[in-house]
Structures are given as structure tokens and as C-alpha cells.
């Protein structure tokens, strides 16, 4: 399983809610980042994106632009209800969160025990940030694309045991499988399976599967 802790960015650039929009824009440009967690007394209180900052900026050419950007505070444009990830979350779950909420990053937080007046209380600690680019890199690795070899597409009935049967036929030919992607089509009752194989010539695999009644194509 690919975990957030292995793909997040740990070297964070953060700002205070009282920082100016001008300062935030400068950080985004100089550090080539698009998301800045906002901390107040060490606690995560928001996140601001380059889109938020551009939306608050007067038009280019406006003579008041520079002074306005200095006056607007980050707290006025940041998102306060922040969706976060845990370092032990899977990359797949994070990808789903980003898709469902239409966001491009999740701050990564964990709880730590802090002693307050003799009692231990849980407090969130910001560890890093995971972005859509990090998720994309992880998913590319998950499907095995950096590995040498090729991919085949197999059309099969969407029923129990079909994947095991196809895998068995491939293994009988002593061809290693790097990854499998599955796309069920509930309307037709079929399933498209994409196998990443460690071979440059899958002809024998394709022939074997076709003889088993499967529709197969070599896609890469």
C-alpha cells in the first residue's frame, strides 16, 4: 500500500494569518508552490492557494495594486475549514478526497499528546502537505508504468473468479505481472482488465487468453 507519509512534502512553507497577500504571492512565485498552510501559535488554522491570492488581487496595471496587496491579510482570503490527511492514509483514499471535494492539496497532520495543567490533551501537529502532483506520482508508480514491459487489455465477464483465472493463465506462461487495473461496466456486465507485464512480447499471453475465450489487445 502506498501511504501518504512516503509521498508528502515535509519541508513546509507556512505563513501567519496576519501575513499580507503580497507576501504570500511572493512566496508562491519564489518557491514555485501553489498551497500554503496557515499556522497560528503552531496550530493549523487555514490554507491559502495561489487561486485565492489571485482572486483577491486587483487587476494588473491598477496603480493601487501594490498597496492593496500589502493591506489585505491572508486571514481574509484563506480557507478555514481545512480537510486534512493522516500520514498513515493510503494515497488512493487521498485521491478520492481530492476528487470529491475538488481540491488540489491536503495538509498532513497527526495528533500528539500535550500536557496542559497536569492533564494530557490531544493536539494536531502539522507534518507536511500532499498535493495532486504527489498523488499522481504515487499512482503512476502504483500501476507500474516506470517498470519495463508492456500492457495488455482484457475484456472479461464481470463475475467472481475471472481475475484469478486470467492471472493463472499468465502465470502458466511464466510471465510476471507488475500491476492490474480493473474497470467494471455495470451496464454490459463486463469488466476491462489492464495488465502491466514484465515482457516486451506478450504474443504468447495474448494467444493463450484468446484461446480461453477472452478478447485481448496489446496496448503498449
State the sign of the Cα–Cα–Cα–Cα dihedral 43, 46, 51, 57: negative
30 sits in which H/E element: helix 21-31
| Cα separation, 125 vs 13, whole angstroms | 15
What are the domain boundaries of the chain? 4-140, 150-218
Tell me the HSE value of 35 on the side-chain side, using a 13 A CA sphere.
20
Average pLDDT across each block of 10 residues of the chain; the chain has 220 residues. List them in order.
91 95 94 95 94 85 83 95 95 94 95 60 84 91 76 88 93 91 80 90 94 89
CATH class of 150-218: alpha beta
Q: Do 4-140 and 150-218 share a fold?
A: no
* pLDDT score at 118: 59
Comparing C-alpha atoms, which of 10, 67, 80, 4 is closest to residue 38?
A: 80
For the domain spanning 4-140, the CATH number is 3.10.580.10
What is the model's pTM? 0.73
Comparing C-alpha atoms, which of 139, 140, 156, 132 is closest to residue 209?
A: 156
Amino acid at each position: 500500500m502506498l501511504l501518504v507519509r512516503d509521498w508528502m512534502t515535509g519541508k513546509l512553507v507556512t505563513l501567519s494569518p496576519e501575513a499580507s497577500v503580497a507576501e504570500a504571492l511572493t512566496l508562491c512565485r519564489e518557491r514555485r508552490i501553489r498551497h500554503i498552510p496557515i499556522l497560528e501559535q503552531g496550530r493549523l488554522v487555514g490554507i491559502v492557494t495561489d487561486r485565492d491570492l489571485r482572486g483577491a488581487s486587483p487587476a494588473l496595471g491598477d496603480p493601487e495594486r501594490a498597496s492593496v496587496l500589502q493591506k489585505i491579510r491572508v486571514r481574509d482570503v484563506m480557507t478555514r475549514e481545512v480537510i486534512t490527511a493522516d500520514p498513515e492514509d493510503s494515497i488512493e483514499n487521498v485521491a478520492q478526497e481530492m476528487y470529491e471535494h475538488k481540491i488540489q492539496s491536503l495538509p498532513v497532520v497527526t495528533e500528539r499528546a500535550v500536557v496542559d495543567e497536569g492533564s494530557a490533551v490531544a493536539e494536531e501537529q502539522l507534518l507536511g502537505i500532499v498535493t495532486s502532483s504527489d498523488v499522481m506520482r504515487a499512482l503512476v508508480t502504483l500501476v507500474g508504468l516506470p517498470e519495463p514491459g508492456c500492457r495488455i487489455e482484457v475484456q472479461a465477464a464481470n463475475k467472481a473468479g475471472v481475475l484469478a483465472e486470467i492471472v493463472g493463465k499468465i502465470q502458466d506462461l511464466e510471465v510476471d505481472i507488475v500491476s492490474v487495473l480493473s474497470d467494471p461496466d455495470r451496464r454490459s456486465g463486463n469488466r476491462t482488465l489492464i495488465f502491466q507485464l514484465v515482457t516486451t512480447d506478450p504474443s504468447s499471453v495474448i494467444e493463450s487468453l484468446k484461446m480461453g475465450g477472452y478478447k485481448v489487445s496489446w496496448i503498449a
